[in-house]
């Protein structure tokens, strides 16, 4: 009987050890998925950066060739004017790239592993935006403000309901209006962007506003 009790304790402990190992293995798998997601995002950013560097190099060569052509066929004043124009254009392009990289880095940090952007609380009528949700919200808002500034336009030209209506149409989303959400400090905000976050359309909206940035960049190229 004593030996049976001993064996029961041993095998019982063995089950506990196996269970603990299983938990550790599960945690390792989750950590592996996290690292793989971050690595994938970094690789994507590195690829985009390489493309941008190659593009800048080609643009510089093209612009230099154009200035040489003007220098041969035009007056010194025309050469100076061409150089100043290219300098302003390149400055604008750098600003566009900077605001895009800043937005993409924030999105990679908070969206790569589908972190919750809001949560429901039975005690409150409105959903509460999480810290990561607020970071995404503020990053998008900052992006639109800076895009407007670089483009020489008002923020409202990028955030009016007409823009959202086009967004809904392009992505086949049933239109909705602004939504009120709570911050962790108890304050609230009521905007269409908050509604986009709560309705789970952040990724589509990011694709949409980066498309707007691309359009503005093309406008600069054509000036």
Q: Quick one: pLDDT at residue 91?
A: 85
Could you tell me if 193 and 200 are in contact, meaning their C-beta atoms sit under 8 angstroms apart? no
Tell me the mean pLDDT in the region 149-157: 93
Tell me the mean pLDDT in the region 114-138: 91
Q: Quick one: pLDDT at residue 66?
A: 58
Higher per-residue confidence, 27 vs 114? 114
| Dihedral (CA of 155, 175, 204, 55) sign | negative
Q: Quick one: pLDDT at residue 169?
A: 97
* Domain residue ranges of the chain, discontinuous segments joined by +: 1-33, 45-222
149 band by pLDDT with thresholds 50, 70 and 90: very high
Whole-angstrom Cα distance, residue 162 to residue 166?
6
Tell me the mean pLDDT in the region 98-111: 89
Tell me the mean pLDDT in the region 85-92: 74
Higher per-residue confidence, 163 vs 1? 163
pLDDT at 69 over 70: no
Q: Quick one: pLDDT at residue 115?
A: 82
pLDDT at 6 over 50: no
1: its two tokens: 């009987």
Q: Quick one: pLDDT at residue 172?
A: 97
Whole-angstrom Cα distance, residue 60 to residue 91?
12
Tell me the mean pLDDT in the region 150-156: 92
């Amino acid at each position: 009987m004593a030996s049976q009790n001993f064996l029961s304790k041993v095998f019982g402990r063995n089950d506990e050890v196996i269970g603990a190992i299983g938990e550790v293995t599960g945690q390792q798998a989750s950590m592996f998925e996290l690292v793989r997601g971050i690595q994938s995002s970094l690789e994507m950013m590195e690829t985009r950066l390489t493309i941008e560097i190659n593009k800048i190099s080609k643009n510089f060569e093209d612009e230099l060739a154009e200035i040489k052509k003007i220098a041969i066929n035009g007056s010194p004043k025309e050469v100076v004017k061409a150089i100043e124009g290219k300098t302003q254009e390149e400055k604008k392009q750098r600003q566009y790239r900077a605001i895009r990289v800043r937005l993409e880095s924030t999105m990679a940090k908070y969206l790569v592993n589908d972190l919750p952007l809001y949560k429901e609380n039975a005690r409150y009528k409105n959903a509460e935006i999480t810290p990561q949700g607020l970071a995404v919200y503020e990053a998008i808002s900052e992006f639109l403000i800076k895009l407007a500034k670089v483009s020489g336009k008002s923020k409202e030209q990028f955030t009016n309901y007409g823009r959202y209506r086009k967004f809904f149409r392009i992505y086949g989303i049933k239109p909705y209006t602004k939504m009120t959400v709570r911050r962790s400090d108890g304050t609230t905000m009521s905007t269409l962007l908050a509604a986009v976050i709560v309705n789970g359309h952040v990724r589509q909206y990011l694709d949409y506003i980066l498309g707007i940035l691309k359009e503005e960049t093309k406008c600069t190229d054509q000036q």
